[in-house]
């Protein structure tokens, strides 16, 4: 068994391989320290949010329609658009009703 095989076995938890030679156990300890140093790398919440926002912006920048379809969002967008049309129509109807009301409101005539 080569030294790199023994190291690999020790890194995956083989205690016999780990204890077999000081060289291997030393390299495992160094590997543990490297793992700890890399795991200690942590972005703060603001940076995480910024990178996520950038990722979303990139993902949405091209092929927007395809992406909407891929995620099934087109139906939601249509629903939102439909809802917006209904809302606008309702608002227009209310405006007309108010205008008519004003037209027939004696107070408005006086004013």
Partner 1 sequence: MAHRSAAELEEERLEILAAQRDRAAFAPLYERYVDQIHAYVYTLTHDMEQADDVTAATFAKAMEELPRFEWRGVPYSAWLYRVAGNLVSRERRRPGWIELEPRMLPDAAADPALHAEENDRADEVRAAVAGLPNDQRQAILLRFGGDLRNREIAEIMGRSEGAVKLLTFRALTSLRRRLGAPMPAERLSRSGS
50: contact with partner 1 by CB under 8 A? yes
Considering the rule CB under 8 A, would residue 52 count as an interface residue with partner 1?
A: yes
Q: How far apart are CA 96 and CA 104, in angstroms?
A: 12
Longest dimension (CA), the chain: 105
Residue 16 CA from chain centroid, whole number: 44
Within positions 63 to 82, which residues make up the interface with partner 1, using CB under 8 A? 67, 70-73
- The percent of the chain in helix, strand and coil, each rounded to the nearest 5, is 85, 0, 15
> Which of 6-14, 82-90, 92-100, 103-111 is the region at the interface with partner 1 (rule: CB under 8 A)?
6-14
What does DSSP assign to residue 62? S
Stretch that binds partner 1, among 27-35, 80-88, 91-99, 101-109 (CB under 8 A): 27-35
Residues of this chain that interact with partner 1 (CB under 8 A) are: 3-5, 7-8, 11-13, 25-44, 47-48, 50-52, 54-59, 67, 70-73
């Amino acid at each position: 068994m080569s030294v790199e095989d023994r190291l690999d076995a020790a890194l995956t938890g083989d205690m016999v391989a780990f204890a077999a030679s000081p060289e291997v156990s030393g390299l495992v300890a160094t590997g543990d320290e490297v793992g700890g140093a890399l795991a200690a790398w942590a972005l703060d919440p603001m940076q995480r949010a910024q990178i996520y926002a950038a990722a979303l912006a990139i993902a949405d920048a091209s092929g927007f329609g395809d992406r909407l379809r891929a995620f099934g969002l087109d139906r939601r967008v249509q629903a939102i658009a439909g809802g917006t049309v209904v809302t606008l129509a309702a608002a227009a109807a209310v405006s007309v009703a108010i205008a008519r009301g004003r037209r027939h409101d004696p107070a408005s005539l006086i004013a």
